[in-house]
Chains A and B, each alone.
Chain A
C-alpha cells in the first residue's frame, strides 16, 4: 500500500495546521500510524505513535487522529511556532510491509 501526503503546507505562527496521510489500500484503522518530525539537518523524532499517542516531551499542541471514512490519518499542530517548521512523515505497516512511509510534508511557518 501507499501513504500519500501533501508535498507542502504553510501557515502563520499561532494558527493551526493539519497534515493528512491517506492510505491507498487496506484500512487505516487496521495498523497504527506514526508521525515523525525531521527538522533541517537533524534526524527524525517521533511526535505521534499508535495513531494518537504523544511521547513524553512532545507538546500537547501536537495531536493525531484517524478517519476511516476517508481512510486517512491526520497530524494537527495548533498554536504554530517557528520551531515547528520541519518535514513531517507518516508511517504505518501491514503483515507484508513492516514500515511504509508517506512521501513527507514540508511545513513552513511564515
Chain B
C-alpha cells in the first residue's frame, strides 16, 4: 500500500531554514510527483510547490518563490521541502502529497509541525 512518512517536528529560529523529508513506499517512486501543502494553526490549506520526480520539473507558488526548494532523491525514495528565511508566519504543519500531474493529491503524509520562534 502507498505510504508517505514524514520527518519529525522542528523548532527553528527566525531567519533559519528548515528541511522536511517525505519517504515514499508501496509504489514506483520515479513514476510520480509530490506537492507540498501547509496549514497554519486554525487555518486552511495552502499549496506551496510541486516536483515531478519522473521529469525533474518544479513549480512554486509565487508567494514562496526564492525561498522554497523542493527536491527528490530517487535512491532513497524521499522527497524534500526546504524553506528558508523563516518567520513566525511560517509556523504551520507541512504536508507532502503524492501528485503525479501537479494538479491534485491522492495520498498524503502525516504532516510535520514546524515552529518558528525566538
Contact = CB atoms under 8 A, between A and B. Distances in A.
Contacts, number: 58
A103 B39 CA distance: 11
A43 B105 CA distance: 12
A91 B106 CA distance: 12
B50 A98 contact: yes
Nearest to B59: A98
A31 interface: yes
Interface in B73-108: 95, 97, 102-108
B44 interface: yes
Interface string A35-51: 01010000111100110
A14 interface: no
Given A31-B103, A44-B45, A104-B45, A99 B35 contact: yes
B108 A49 contact: no
Interface in B25-58: 35, 37, 44-47, 50
Interface string B1-45: 000000000000000000000000000000000010100000011
A44 B108 contact: yes
A30 B76 CA distance: 37
A82 B75 CA distance: 43
A62 interface: no
Interface of A: 31-32, 34, 36, 38, 43-46, 49-50, 55, 89, 91, 93, 98-104
